[in-house]
Structure 1
Amino acid sequence: MSWAQQHKVFVANRGEIALRILDACDRLGIDAVLGVSQADRDSLPARRAGRTVVLGPAHAADSYLSIDATVQAAVSTGCTAVHPGYGFLSESVAFARCCAEHGLIFVGPRLEHLEILGDKLSARRVAEEAGVPVTPGGETCSGEEALALAGRIGYPVLVKAAFGGGGRGMKLVDNPEDLVAAWELAASEAQSTFGDGTVFIERYVRDAKHVEVQILGDQHGHCIHLGERECSVQFRYQKMLEEAPCVALGETARRELHGHAMRLATKLGYVSLGTIEFLYDVQRDAFWFLEVNPRVQVEHPVTESVTGVDLVREQLLVAFGEPLSLRQDEIEFHGHAIELRLVAQDAARGLLPSPGRLERWRTPPLGGVRWDTHLYEGYRFPPYYDALMAKIIAHGADRAGALERLRLALAHLQLKGPGTNLTLLQRLVAAPAVVDATVTTRWLEEALPQLMET
């Protein structure tokens, strides 16, 4: 029996990332089974998969978030591994533990890493132990404790859920008068959304860029990085444009950033794909640790574009016990890549969700442009899940070339159906602050009203 025939992968996700995992399995010669909800039975991933299993009804809580249904489906179809993609169960300690109990390989980090990194407070402690700078702050158990800590570290501050993500359970506070109410609201949101109301306070960095380092470790003690990405164009803490490399960094700062990431990865003994996120304080030329995302990222294609490394393939190989196929000194970086997220959200109405039938979908055949999407004409975009429609990734010899390819791709995309952020993306790639790479994490929310003026 060949190496590939020993394994079968259950794909526990949907949309473009499910297609991405299926494609990586195909290239490795590994059989794959796809889990779908009732709403996704006619999706493009379901059409591509060799076999599909219905996990449950449309709502994610009854299908994609059901640990029992997912594990039972994987076991009953003879799978040896489960790939959770991103979102849904990808960072669930309970899911990873259940997979292990049923003899399934969880395609992701070790259980102890999910436990450590799922708690932002414990992740901060490990970062400090590794000598990685963290923003001043700490855990608070009451509004009064929050006031005392904020008084010591200085305003503005962020109140953040220890087990949160995506901006939920996060509040920006500029003065002590608003802090207690914000702390109580963040704790309440954290409890209702994540099942744990633990929150902490940290100093808010106003003029910051969001930069992150892609790491990859195997089960044999080897770990490498694949450079950095900048993800500063965000709306309500949701990324909209990602690129590699970060042109705001000089070579000294870039080496410092990579060094921080590798010290933390080494301290953890990290296995699988992971992303270590930082704030880059532009005024002080300093980095501050944010968190570690222990999974494949939505924006992984920009790193693939500049390195030529198939990250999902490597992630699968590592999960099956294979050593890394590349050494650090073999990683080469070429050109510049930028990714845009096309979403079914109406930008004219504050980016509210906009599900509906896709009447026309034709992507232009342009060199240097990659479309990661699960769309097809006639597809009915459901209201139950994430609004991501497609990722548009352009690679060029330099940043200006990548931006120009994105402009052409957006101009020639034929799209009719749900409301989208297409117009906003077109204006984004032409905005002077984006062209000049001077954006910070606050820029889009402040610029959005002007960008959407007709």
Structure 2
Amino acid sequence: MTGLQRVLVANRGEIAVRVIRACHVAGLEAVAVYSDADEHARWVRMADDAVHIGRSAAQKSYLDSDALLKAARTAEADAVHPGYGFLSENGAFARAIDEAGLVFIGPRPSVLEQMGDKAAARSAATAAGVPVVPGTDPIDNPEDVARLAPEIGFPLLLKASAGGGGRGIRPVRDVDELLEVLPTAQAEARSAFGDPAIYLERAVPQARHVEVQVLADDHGHAVHLFERDCSVQRRRQKLIEEAPAPGLREETRKALASAAVRLAEHVGYRGAGTVEFLVDAEGNFYFIEMNARIQVEHPITEMITGVDLVAEQLSIAAGRPLSLAQESIERRGVAVELRINAEDPERDFAPTPGEISELRLPGGPGVRVDTGITQGDRISPFYDSLITKLICWGDDRDQAYARARQALAEFHVEGVASTTGLHRRLVTDPELTAGPVHSTWLEQRLG
């Protein structure tokens, strides 16, 4: 690929495998990184080269920007793909990559910083004419909190400005509860994100979580690749995603896509990104955040459009214009993604690290399996507990869910407890399979 030759994959697990594959298909060399815990991992074996970056704890390896930059130089890479999570949305890391003369495969540092600050992102959305949930700018004075909260209306959400991935969010029912949790929320925001700033946002009851996939290049082109529904969540962590979102009115679907592209154009976005919305029962929608990276659930968009999103990321980073025009992107069928984690639903979803003593993966028409492990590998206590993603496509929802049920019947893992049983129950639940559910549906279902 013109402009790129050797890419450092600054991540681990299934997304590292995914990026390495895309690099090889594009004719690029891929360099893996690994911590002590991941020395013999699947993506390390797949890569053309691999560099050790530190100890097992993420702060000493995958979150160590200096170690990753040193690894890029050692490997003589000319670009860095951050994957998702870890430093993928860290503006300072992206800037350090740029200043080192390397290509950061993602948005510009200034855009990462703007979209990473939830209050700044809200302001950008408003300026782009995208509806936002009623809320405030960052605040830290308890007197301001007590004054502004009733104007917004309860119930509301107390959010960390630098939060993301469903973290740094506390629901509150009244002023007394808000003032009680404010100091703790600020301390947690400082500890988790390095920034104590918080803001208030009105809660939208029984809303759906719908996100729009966008791609944009450095030549003034931006497109959407339709939407995904991510409403099957527990504690704001997604378990099942579906594309396209079921049961949306066509005018709502088009308006969501238009708003997402408008925001991407307004901020000068580059690469793959996702604009996330809440959609209420009447079809009103509100911007909540932009994930300035590839998403965990990107495969279902690939399945319904036939577009390789990571290949597009690499092409855009090489300076090429988008290979797609909006009118050429077609949607076909329905795809569902099931995130199978090494967690025990019977013990409040406690992580269950350990060795995968047996692993049998499904197959068949319309079934895709994305995983970073093989039998004999270990689920580490230091990182996310994802075992695999089962992605199932069908001509319609019925076929997609039928294939999901068959894939789960074939899937087998031993050595760790997993969410497989829960997923088997969910894909047969008549409320889920009959139509859309809201983002608190699963928690209500689980009691």
- TM-score of the superposition, structure 1-length normalised? 0.97
Q: Check conservation: 1:143, 1:179, Cα contact below 8 A.
A: no
2:164 corresponds to 1:165: yes
**Which of 388, 400, 403 is equivalent to 1:402?**
400
CA drift at 1:380: 1.5
Aligned counterpart, 1:307: 305
Aligned counterpart, 2:240: 241
Q: Hey, what's the Cα distance between the residues in 2 that align with 1:359 and 1:246?
A: 37
**Which of 74, 82, 85 is equivalent to 1:84?**
82
CA drift at 1:128: 0.4
CA drift at 1:267: 0.9
Q: Hey, what's the Cα distance between the residues in 2 that align with 1:438 and 1:55?
A: 43
Aligned counterpart, 1:363: 361
Q: Hey, what's the Cα distance between the residues in 1 that align with 2:410 and 2:271?
A: 38
Q: Deviations over 1:274-312 (max 9, x none)?
A: 100000011x32000000000000000000000000000
Moved more, 166-175 or 154-163: 166-175
> What letter corresponds to residue 365 of structure 2 in structure 1?
G
> What letter corresponds to residue 90 of structure 2 in structure 1?
S
Q: Hey, what's the Cα distance between the residues in 2 that align with 1:375 and 1:127?
A: 39
Q: How does 1:31-46 map to 2 (within 5 A)?
A: 31-46=29-44
Aligned counterpart, 2:278: 279
CA drift at 1:166: 2.8
**Which of 367, 371, 389 is equivalent to 1:391?**
389
Q: Check conservation: 1:234, 1:444, Cα contact below 8 A.
A: yes
Aligned counterpart, 2:329: 331
CA drift at 1:437: 2.3
Aligned counterpart, 1:353: 351
> What letter corresponds to residue 49 of structure 1 in structure 2?
A
> What letter corresponds to residue 380 of structure 1 in structure 2?
R
CA drift at 1:39: 0.7
Q: Check conservation: 2:246, 2:436, Cα contact below 8 A.
A: no
Aligned counterpart, 1:155: 154
2:176 corresponds to 1:181: no
2:262 corresponds to 1:270: no
Q: Hey, what's the Cα distance between the residues in 1 that align with 2:320 and 2:177?
A: 52
Aligned counterpart, 1:452: none
Aligned counterpart, 2:73: 75
> What letter corresponds to residue 215 of structure 1 in structure 2?
V
Q: Hey, what's the Cα distance between the residues in 2 that align with 1:3 and 1:438?
A: 44
Aligned counterpart, 1:421: 419
CA drift at 1:142: 2.2
**Which of 15, 25, 28 is equivalent to 1:27?**
25
Aligned counterpart, 2:199: 200
Q: Check conservation: 1:361, 1:375, Cα contact below 8 A.
A: no
Q: Deviations over 1:303-343 (max 9, x none)?
A: 00000000000001101101111100000000000001000
Matched residue of 1:366: which SS?
Answer: coil
Aligned counterpart, 1:115: 113
Matched residue of 1:163: which SS?
Answer: coil
Residues paired across the two proteins, number: 446
Q: Hey, what's the Cα distance between the residues in 2 that align with 1:414 and 1:117?
A: 39
CA drift at 1:153: 1.5
Matched residue of 2:136: which SS?
Answer: strand
> What letter corresponds to residue 51 of structure 1 in structure 2?
D
Q: Hey, what's the Cα distance between the residues in 1 that align with 2:306 and 2:167?
A: 34
Q: Hey, what's the Cα distance between the residues in 2 that align with 1:194 and 1:267?
A: 26
CA drift at 1:97: 1.0
**Which of 288, 291, 295 is equivalent to 2:289?**
291
Q: Hey, what's the Cα distance between the residues in 1 that align with 2:153 and 2:363?
A: 52
Q: Deviations over 1:381-433 (max 9, x none)?
A: 11100111111000000011100100011011121111111110101111122
Matched residue of 1:52: which SS?
Answer: strand
Aligned counterpart, 1:51: 49
Q: Check conservation: 1:144, 1:180, Cα contact below 8 A.
A: no
Q: Percent of counterpart pairs with the same letter?
A: 48
Q: Check conservation: 2:216, 2:271, Cα contact below 8 A.
A: yes
CA drift at 1:358: 0.7
Q: Check conservation: 2:215, 2:271, Cα contact below 8 A.
A: yes
Gaps of 5+ in 2: none
Q: Hey, what's the Cα distance between the residues in 2 that align with 1:214 and 1:364?
A: 27
Q: Hey, what's the Cα distance between the residues in 2 that align with 1:18 and 1:443?
A: 32
> What letter corresponds to residue 77 of structure 2 in structure 1?
C
Matched residue of 1:263: which SS?
Answer: helix
Aligned counterpart, 2:256: 257
Q: Check conservation: 1:354, 1:419, Cα contact below 8 A.
A: yes
Q: Hey, what's the Cα distance between the residues in 2 that align with 1:15 and 1:286?
A: 37
- TM-score of the superposition, structure 2-length normalised? 0.98
CA drift at 1:188: 1.2
Q: Check conservation: 2:7, 2:77, Cα contact below 8 A.
A: yes
CA drift at 1:168: 2.7
Aligned counterpart, 1:222: 221
Q: Hey, what's the Cα distance between the residues in 1 that align with 2:62 and 2:178?
A: 36
Aligned counterpart, 2:210: 211
Q: Deviations over 1:152-206 (max 9, x none)?
A: 1110000000001233321101122211112222111101111110000010001
Matched residue of 2:445: which SS?
Answer: helix
> What letter corresponds to residue 183 of structure 1 in structure 2?
L
> What letter corresponds to residue 395 of structure 1 in structure 2?
W
CA drift at 1:364: 2.4
Q: Check conservation: 2:215, 2:224, Cα contact below 8 A.
A: yes
2:374 corresponds to 1:376: yes
Gaps of 5+ in 1: 450-454
Q: Hey, what's the Cα distance between the residues in 1 that align with 2:436 and 2:174?
A: 27
Q: How does 1:118-129 map to 2 (within 5 A)?
A: 118-129=116-127
